[in-house]
Amino acid sequence: MLLRHTTEKEIDRKALTINPVKTCQPIGAMYAALGVHRCLPHSHGSQGCCSYHRSMLTRHFKEPILSSTSSFSEGASVFGGSSNLISAIDTIFTVYDPDVIAVHTTCLSETIGDDMAQIISKAKEEEKIPKNKTVIYCNTPSYIGTHITGYSNQLSAFVNFFSISTPKKRNVVNLVAGWMEPSDMREIKRISRIMEARTILFPDMSDVLDTPLNGKFEMYPSGGATIQEITAIGDSKFTIGLGAYSTENACVKLENKCKVRFEIVEIPIGLKATDRFVISLSRHANVPIPDILTEERGRLVDLIADNSKYFYKKRVALFGDPDTLIPLIEFLLTLDMKPVYVVTGTAGNHFNRSMQELLSEKVSEAKYKSGECADMFQLHQWIKQKSVDLLIGNTYGKYIARDENIPFVRFGFPVTDRPGNNYFPHVGYVGASNLVIKILEKILDHKDRTCHESKVEFQM
Amino acid sequence: MVVKKDKTELGDRLVHELQEFREVIIAKYPKKVAKKRAKSIVVNNPDNPPEIQANVRTIPGIITQRGCTYAGCKGVVLGPTRDIVNITHGPIGCGFYSWLTRRNQTLPIDENDSNFITYCFSTDMQDSNIVFGGEEKLKQAIREAYELFRPHTIAIFSTCPVGLIGDDVHRVAKHMMEEIGGGINIFGFSCEGYRGVSQSAGHHIANNGLFKNLIGRDDSVNGSLEYRVNLLGEYNIGGDAFELERIFEKCGINLIATFSGNSTIKKFENAHTADLNMVMCHRSINYVAEMMETAFGIPWIKVQPIGARSTIKMLRRVAQYFGSKKLIDRVEKIITEEMIEVDKACKDARKFTVGKLAMLFVGGSRAHHYQDLFEELGMVTIAAGYEFGHRDDYEGRRVIPNIKIDADSRNIEEIVVTKDSTRYKPRKTEKELNELKVNGLELGEYDGMMKQMGKGTLVIDDLSHYEMDKLIEKYHPDVFCAGIKEKFCVQKMGIPLKQLHNYDSGGPYAGFKGAINFYQDIAMLVNTSIWKELKAPWEGDAFIEATFVC
Q: Where are the alpha helices (DSSP H) in B476-510?
A: 484-492
Sign, CA torsion A181/A183/A184/A188: positive
Asked, for residue A330, whether it belongs to a domain, the answer is yes
Asked if residues B255 and B227 have their Cβ atoms less than 8 Å apart, the reply is: no
Query: Residue A449 region, left (φ>0) first, then alpha (ψ -120 to 50), else beta?
Result: alpha
Residue range B165-180: average pLDDT?
A: 98
Q: Tell me which of A18, A69, A93, A417 to substitute to probe the interface with B (most B C-beta atoms closer than 10 Å).
A: A18
Residue A53 has pLDDT above 70, yes or no: yes
Q: A110 with A232, same domain?
A: no
| End-of-domain residue from the set A262, A288, A314 | A288
Q: A260 with A305, same domain?
A: no
Contact B164 A88 (CB under 8 A): no
DSSP for B221-286, please give it. --S-SSSEEEEEEE--BTTHHHHHHHHHHHHT-EEEEEEETTB-HHHHHTGGG-SEEEESSHHHHH
Asked, for residue A227, whether it belongs to a domain, the answer is yes
Q: A122 with A232, same domain?
A: no
**Residues 101 through 130 of chain A touching chain B, CB cutoff 8 Å:** 106-108, 111-112
Q: A196 with A98, same domain?
A: no
| End-of-domain residue from the set A273, A288, A303 | A288
**Of B68, B271, B510, B515, catalytic:** B68
- List, for residues B184-197, the tens digit of each pLDDT value: 999 999 999 999 99
Asked, for residue A65, whether it belongs to a domain, the answer is yes
User: pTM for the full model?
Assistant: 0.97
- List, for residues B492-536, the tens digit of each pLDDT value: 999 999 999 999 999 999 999 999 999 999 999 999 999 999 999
β-pair type (A68-69, A134-138): unpaired
Beta bridge partners of A318: A342, A392
Asked, for residue A424, whether it belongs to a domain, the answer is yes
Query: Mean pLDDT across chain B, nearest whole number?
Result: 95
Report the interhelical angle of A291-311 vs A271-285 (nearest 10°). 160
Contact B124 A373 (CB under 8 A): yes
Residue B4 has pLDDT above 60, yes or no: no
**Residues 382 through 421 of chain A touching chain B, CB cutoff 8 Å:** 396, 399
* More confidently predicted of A444 and B7: A444
- List, for residues A347-394, the tens digit of each pLDDT value: 999 999 999 999 999 999 999 999 999 999 999 999 999 999 999 999
Cis peptide before A203 (omega within 30 of 0): yes
Beta bridge partners of A68: A42
Q: A283 with A299, same domain?
A: no
Residue B485 has pLDDT above 90, yes or no: yes
Distance CA B180, CA B11 (A): 63
Q: A302 with A437, same domain?
A: yes
Asked, for residue A164, whether it belongs to a domain, the answer is no
Closest CA to A154 of A61, A235, A53, A76: A53
As separate numbers, helices (DSSP H) first and strands (DSSP E) second, chain B gives 22, 14
Contact A48 B123 (CB under 8 A): no
Q: What CATH number corresponds to the domain at position A316?
A: 3.40.50.1980
Q: Tell me which of A27, A95, A120 to substitute to probe the interface with B (most B C-beta atoms closer than 10 Å).
A: A95
Query: Mean pLDDT across chain A, nearest whole number?
Result: 97
Q: A324 with A379, same domain?
A: yes
Q: How confident is the model at residue A313 (pLDDT cuts 50, 70, 90)?
A: very high
Q: A398 with A429, same domain?
A: yes
Q: How confident is the model at residue B542 (pLDDT cuts 50, 70, 90)?
A: confident
Distance CA B488, CA A217 (A): 9
Q: Is B271 a catalytic residue?
A: no
Chain B environment of A26 (Cβ under 8 Å): 93
Q: How confident is the model at residue B548 (pLDDT cuts 50, 70, 90)?
A: low
**Of B54, B71, B274, B346, catalytic:** B71
* Least CB–CB distance from A111: residue in B164, B469, B487: B164
Contact B493 A58 (CB under 8 A): no
Residue B3 has pLDDT above 60, yes or no: no
Asked, for residue A163, whether it belongs to a domain, the answer is no
Distance CA A198, CA A271 (A): 23
Distance CA B286, CA B275 (A): 16
Residue A320 has pLDDT above 70, yes or no: yes
Checking ipTM against 0.85, whether it exceeds it is: yes
Distance CA A223, CA B311 (A): 49
The percent of residues above 70 in pLDDT, for chain B, comes to: 96
Q: How many domains does chain A have?
A: 3
Residue range B37-46: average pLDDT?
A: 96
Asked if residues A281 and A195 have their Cβ atoms less than 8 Å apart, the reply is: yes
- List, for residues B332-383, the tens digit of each pLDDT value: 999 999 999 999 999 999 999 999 999 999 999 999 999 999 999 999 999 9
Q: Which long-range contacts (CB under 8 A, 24 or more apart) does B533-537 make?
A: B534/A213, B534/A214, B534/A215, B534/B494, B535/A214, B535/A215
Domain ranges, residue A411: 2-16+295-454
User: How far is B50 from chain A, CA to nearest CA, in Å?
Assistant: 27
Q: What is the pLDDT of residue B1?
A: 41
Q: What is the pLDDT of residue B7?
A: 55
Contact A87 B61 (CB under 8 A): yes
* Least CB–CB distance from B493: residue in A47, A96, A217: A217
Chain A environment of B176 (Cβ under 8 Å): none
Q: A281 with A303, same domain?
A: no
Sign, CA torsion A228/A233/A237/A241: positive
Residue A308 has pLDDT above 90, yes or no: yes
- List, for residues A115-133, the tens digit of each pLDDT value: 999 999 999 999 999 999 9
* Domains annotated on chain B, with CATH: 69-195 (3.40.50.1980)
Asked, for residue A259, whether it belongs to a domain, the answer is yes
Distance CA A210, CA A200 (A): 19
Q: What is the pLDDT of residue B14?
A: 72
User: How far is B127 from chain A, CA to nearest CA, in Å?
Assistant: 5
Cβ contacts below 8 Å, chain A against chain B, sum to 270
Q: What is the pLDDT of residue B8?
A: 52
Q: How confident is the model at residue B2 (pLDDT cuts 50, 70, 90)?
A: very low
Q: Tell me which of A17, A135, A396 to substitute to probe the interface with B (most B C-beta atoms closer than 10 Å).
A: A17
Q: A235 with A117, same domain?
A: no
Contact B494 A213 (CB under 8 A): yes
Q: A250 with A135, same domain?
A: no
Per-residue b or e along A89-101, where b marks 16 or more CB atoms closer than 10 Å to that residue's CB:
bbbbbbbbebbbb
Q: What is the pLDDT of residue B401?
A: 96
- Say how many Å lie between the first and final Cα of chain A, rounded: 32
Q: A359 with A410, same domain?
A: yes
**Residues 4 through 63 of chain A touching chain B, CB cutoff 8 Å:** 4-5, 11, 13-20, 22-24, 26-27, 42, 45-49, 51-56, 58-59, 62-63
Asked, for residue A154, whether it belongs to a domain, the answer is no
Q: Is B309 a catalytic residue?
A: no
| End-of-domain residue from the set A288, A318, A334 | A288
